[in-house]
Amino acid sequence: MDSMNGVIAALSALSNPILVAITFVYAFITYRILVATRRATDLMHRQFEESLRPYIAVDVFVERGSHIFRLRIRNLGKSAAANLRLSLDRDFCQFGNPEHNLRNTYAFRENVATFPPNFELIFDLDVSHQVLGKKAPEVTPTKFKVSWFYTFVDKHYEDSTEVDLETFLDSCANPEPLVDELRGISKSLEKLASAIKDQQRQKVDGRPKLQ
What value does the mean pLDDT take over residues 182-210? 68
pLDDT tens digits for range 156-191: 999 999 999 998 887 665 555 555 566 667 677 777
Average pLDDT over the chain reads 80
- Flag the least confident range among 99-108, 160-169, 174-183, 193-202: 174-183
The pLDDT value given to residue 3: 57
- Cα separation of the two ends of the chain: 120
Would you say residue 100 has pLDDT above 90? Answer: yes
Query: Angle CA(104)–CA(160)–CA(162) in degrees, nearest 5?
Result: 85
Residue whose C-alpha is closest to residue 128's, from 82, 172, 186, 76: 172
Distance (Å, whole) CA 149 – CA 59: 17
Distance (Å, whole) CA 95 – CA 169: 19
Distance (Å, whole) CA 60 – CA 164: 9
Q: How far is CA 65 from CA 36, 68, 82, 167, 182, in A?
A: 57, 9, 35, 19, 14
Residue type present at position 12: S
- More confident: 192 or 174: 192
The pLDDT value given to residue 211: 47
Dump the DSSP string for 1-19: -HHHHHHHHHHHHHHHHHH
- More confident: 22 or 84: 84
Distance (Å, whole) CA 132 – CA 126: 10
Q: How confident is the model at residue 37 (pLDDT cuts 50, 70, 90)?
A: confident
Distance (Å, whole) CA 198 – CA 195: 5
The pLDDT value given to residue 117: 95
Pairing of strands 120-127, 68-75: antiparallel
| pTM more than 0.85 | no
For the ranges 29-33, 49-53, 125-129, the maximum mean pLDDT occurs at 125-129
Q: Cβ-count burial of 195 within 10 angstroms (0-12 exposed, 13-18 middle, 19+ buried)?
A: exposed
